[in-house]
Amino acid sequence: MGVIGFVLTALWIKLIHNPTDHPRMSEEELKFISENGAVVDMDHKKPGSAAASGPKLHYIKQLLSNRMMLGVFFGQYFINTITWFFLTWFPIYLVQEKGMSILKVGLVASIPALCGFAGGVLGGVFSDYLIKRGLSLTLARKLPIVLGMLLASTIILCNYTNTTTLVVMLMALAFFGKGFGALGWPVISDTAPKEIVGLCGGVFNVFGNVASIVTPLVIGYLVSELHSFNAALVFVGCSALMAMVCYLFVVGDIKRMELQK
């Protein structure tokens, strides 16, 4: 995999260009993408400009006090909670709660992951389709997220059945929904201040990775204290609903954040 990574890096360097440097970019096309919100000149900053000076402390304060950005950041935290349940406790759930053998779990645990992959692709396609149909950017991003998180919350229904096949189907539906609604990075590309795109992406990742620490601990505690996964699944399902709440009631209109100089 490491060698493949080097090959892909070489291809990236050779084939991917900044819009202003792309050999097949026409002036009309460059003007079109620039006028529609794309940041096309990040590699051509003028010395002494705000964009060239890098992150400043008051920029960071603005980022962390902006309601829209905080909604996106916390939304990513809650969405990643779903991911980390599947990456850490899902196989154990199948063994301890549903009595599956470890050999069978290896195959069954891949089914939700494949559905999550399909959901991730379809969620992006659906969002782009809505934009092409003339819907607002806000609706085109939020609708897949809301639908996806509603599907992800169905993981709670696993508490009400002992049928292994139905449990796996519900888990697959939940992970599909998580993938379908995981539009955090497109939203970051739509909202990040152009002066601190990298910093904004880094903070976004921090919030998401906090879930990788908190989720296994919380689920482990719930299972240990209650001797059941029921509360753990409610925790994961409620996290999906909280992600939906963040985008519906905290984020507001999705637009690029402007920094105060």
The per-residue DSSP string of 181-205 comes to: H--HHHHHHHHS-GGGHHHHHHHHH
Hey, what are 133's tokens? Answer: 């149909």
Q: Tell me the C-alpha distance between 241 and 210, whole Å.
A: 18
Domain ranges of the chain: 84-251
Torsion over CA: 176, 138, 189, 60 (sign): negative
Write down the CATH number for the domain with range 84-251: 1.20.1250.20
pTM: 0.87
Q: Name 129's Cβ contacts closer than 8 Å, sequence gap at least 6.
A: none
pLDDT digit string (tens) for the chain, length 261 residues: 889 999 999 998 888 877 777 777 787 887 787 776 666 666 655 555 555 555 678 888 999 999 999 999 999 999 999 999 999 999 999 999 988 888 788 889 999 999 999 999 999 999 999 999 999 999 999 999 999 999 999 999 999 998 999 999 999 999 999 999 999 999 999 999 988 988 999 999 999 999 999 999 999 999 999 999 999 999 999 999 999 999 999 999 999 999 987
